[in-house]
Amino acid sequence: MIEVVKDQEEVETFGLMPRAMHAVASALGPGSGRWFIVAGGIIIGFIVVMSLLAPLISPYDPTTLFVGPDNSPPNAKFPLGTDQYGRDMLSRIIWGGRFMLTVAVMAVLLCLAIGVPIGLASAYRGGTVDKVVSLVMDSMYAFPSLVLAIVIIGVFGVNAINEAIAIAVVYVPSYYRVIRSQVLTIKELPYVEGAKSIGSKSRHILGSYILPNILPSVVVVATINFADSILTTAGLDFIGLGRLDLPDWGVDLYYGRAALPIGAWWIILFSGTMIVLSALGFGLISEGLAERRGRE
């Protein structure tokens, strides 16, 4: 992905769309890691579509109590059974991913909006600023994400944006690290030196040379970010810091715990499996992408 620029216009007109399409095409093309990306993509695609179509395909309203008998195992009328409050599990499964996915998307966007500029600026500038920011980021990097999330949610209340913020706060250091190590390498490369010598502005260098080259690794981090975000949301739900009023796979597990002694496995298994699938899907994509890059 090294582009020798003959004049500035050439780079500017190299639009974002064709580049994005090229990236997707090469991700799906033959080569190592392809299976992972495709499999992960199918899983995530399925979940996203299911979540989007929920109002249309869900047999019952997932929050209505006692549409059926309580604690009934899977049967013809309720294919995935009902929970302690008589709610249809199938409907809850279909609706259950929306909140988590929303939070995940918000978290990733926040991370990108905050982490990428900070990483680029700090690594490119260097000097004391870089050292201080690195110190701050290193301190936060080692801290368990769940603890910080618990504190933020516990203090500021449970809603999607707070969860997204909590997850973003913990994840920005990961983006920072990856971006920084890449920028440090790239900024020493001859073509950057060349650009500087013809008087290109820093902003231009960062935008046209460095940014496109760090994007692949940022995408890898973003996919892991998605996966971790889903798991963190689930974790918060389980502790009791979730939106108990919404249909959500993690909340199902929170309630499902009480059902354990009576052996009502259907309240737990399906919701848990959906969480695993979501995290798995993103995990597979991330592994596939990483493998591709490694095999260059």
Residues 6+ apart with CB under 8 A from 80: 74, 88, 89, 90, 93, 266, 270
- Residue 216 found at the interface with other proteins (CB under 8 A): no
Bridge partner residues of 88 (DSSP): 82
Binds other proteins by CB under 8 A, chosen from 42, 240, 244, 258: 240
Binds other proteins by CB under 8 A, chosen from 127, 144, 190, 199: 144
Pick from 223, 261, 267, 244: nearest CA to 88? 267
Burial class from Cβ neighbours inside 10 Å (0-12, 13-18, 19+) for residue 89 reads buried
- Residue 194 found at the interface with other proteins (CB under 8 A): no
Residues binding other proteins: number (CB under 8 A) = 48
Burial of 166-187, coded b for 16+ CB within 10 Å and e otherwise, reads: bbbbbbbbbbbbbbbebbeebb
Pick from 225, 223, 207, 120: nearest CA to 168? 225
Cβ 10 to other proteins shortest distance, Å:
26
Cβ atoms of 113 and 148 closer than 8 Å? no
- Across the chain, how many H-helices and E-strands are there? 14, 0
Stretch that binds other proteins, among 94-102, 175-183, 214-222, 281-289 (CB under 8 A): 281-289
In the range 98-127, which residues lie near other proteins by CB under 8 A?
none
Q: 85: which 2 tokens?
A: 């409050």
Question: Rounded CA gap, 223 and 200, in Å?
Answer: 33
- Residue 54 found at the interface with other proteins (CB under 8 A): no
Cβ atoms of 233 and 242 closer than 8 Å? yes
Binds other proteins by CB under 8 A, chosen from 150, 161, 189, 211: 150
Stretch that binds other proteins, among 68-76, 78-86, 203-211, 265-273 (CB under 8 A): 265-273
- Residue 48 found at the interface with other proteins (CB under 8 A): no
- Residue 25 found at the interface with other proteins (CB under 8 A): no
Comparing CB distances to other proteins, the nearer of 21 and 151 is 151
Cβ atoms of 89 and 215 closer than 8 Å? no
Stretch that binds other proteins, among 52-60, 179-187, 200-208, 267-275 (CB under 8 A): 267-275
Cβ 291 to other proteins shortest distance, Å:
9
Binds other proteins by CB under 8 A, chosen from 63, 139, 159, 185: 139
- Judged by the rule CB under 8 A, the positions of this chain that interact with other proteins are 31-32, 135-136, 138-140, 142-147, 150-152, 154-156, 227, 231, 234-235, 238-241, 250, 253, 256-257, 260-261, 263, 265, 268-269, 272, 275-280, 283-284, 287, 295
